[in-house]
Amino acid sequence: MPEEKVPLSFYSAYDTRTLARNLLGCELVHESPDGLTSGIIVETEAYLQDDPACHAFNRRTPRTEPMYGRAGTAYVYLIYGMYQCFNIVSNAEGIGEAVLIRALQPTAGIELMEIRRSIRAGKAPMTPSAARITLKELCRGPGKLVQAMGIEKGMHNATLLSGGTLYLRPQVTAPQEIIEGPRVGINLGRELPYRYYIKDNIFVSKA
């Protein structure tokens, strides 16, 4: 399988909402020491600088610094004190915007995903015949996909461009139909329709 990474222009050429749409159908890949895992992005949310739900809405702080960096940078933050969320920085440098990845359709490293998810969930590691987390539950939600993919807070501010082990492959085929609607789990800015997902895809976190 040839390594074909999405280039900088993909992340920087369009506004954040367009990027959030264009990311659907792309494949997120992580080459970790434990093995390779990957999944097709089926659900995203855009976070804009003039949007009260965006971490960069108020002030430029140490935590949000990567959001102002080059497009194609990873922005990883802690949520609920116990889960991480994975975002991709968009737009030009100096503009604090990003796209949250909310769900994946697993494509490779399924067994490794099951192990990571089981361990993090406090269950015994998988055995082949053991009761398992089902395929569609593996990456259905921002915290889940971070666990399954082995993304860690150390990857905060890492680049998805050349040189890294975490990157995107381009769409093989464009999604047939994209639904947009309100984002999940936020109060401020909840009326903004900045959530995008592939219609009828069973791997989205919430229809």
Partner DNA sequence: GTACGGATAGTCT
Partner DNA sequence: GACTATCCGTACC
- 124 binding DNA? (CB under 7 A): no
Q: Work out whether 188 is an interface residue with DNA (CB under 7 A).
A: yes
Q: Which of 58, 111, 170, 193 binds DNA (CB under 7 A)?
A: 58
| Piece in contact with DNA (CB under 7 A), picked from 5-13, 16-24, 67-75, 183-191 | 183-191
Q: Which is nearer to DNA, 6 or 205 (CB)?
A: 205
Q: How far apart are CA 167 and CA 169, in angstroms?
A: 7
What's the angle, vertex CA 23, arms to CA 105 and CA 15, rounded to 5? Answer: 160
Q: Looking at 137, 164, 165, 171, which residue binds DNA (CB under 7 A)?
A: 137
DSSP E strand stretches across the chain: 27-32, 35-47, 74-79, 83-89, 98-108, 166-169, 178-181, 195-198
Q: Which two tokens stand for residue 44?
A: 């995203």
The nearest distance, CB 45 to DNA, in angstroms, is 9
Out of 20, 42, 53, 168, name the contact with DNA by CB under 7 A.
53
Q: Does 120 bind DNA (CB under 7 A)?
A: yes
Ranges within 74-103 binding DNA (CB under 7 A)? 78-83, 85
Applying CB under 7 A, does 142 fall inside the site for DNA? Answer: yes
Interstrand relation of 195-198 and 35-47 (parallel, antiparallel or unpaired): antiparallel
Q: Does 127 bind DNA (CB under 7 A)?
A: no
Q: How far is the CB of 133 from DNA (least distance, A)?
A: 7
Asked if residues 151 and 86 have their Cβ atoms less than 8 Å apart, the reply is yes
Q: Residue 89: beta bridge partners?
A: 98
Q: Which of 1, 50, 59, 124 binds DNA (CB under 7 A)?
A: 59
Q: Which of 181, 167, 25 has its CA nearest to residue 103?
A: 25
Q: How far apart are CA 22 and CA 106, in angstroms?
A: 18
Dist CA 146 CA 165 (whole Å): 15
What's the DSSP call for residue 124?
P
Smallest distance from the beta carbon of 99 to DNA, in angstroms? 14
Does 44 contact DNA by CB under 7 A? Answer: no
Q: Does 122 bind DNA (CB under 7 A)?
A: yes
Residues lying near DNA in the complex (CB under 7 A) are found at 53, 58-59, 61-64, 78-83, 85, 117, 120-123, 137, 141-145, 184-188, 205
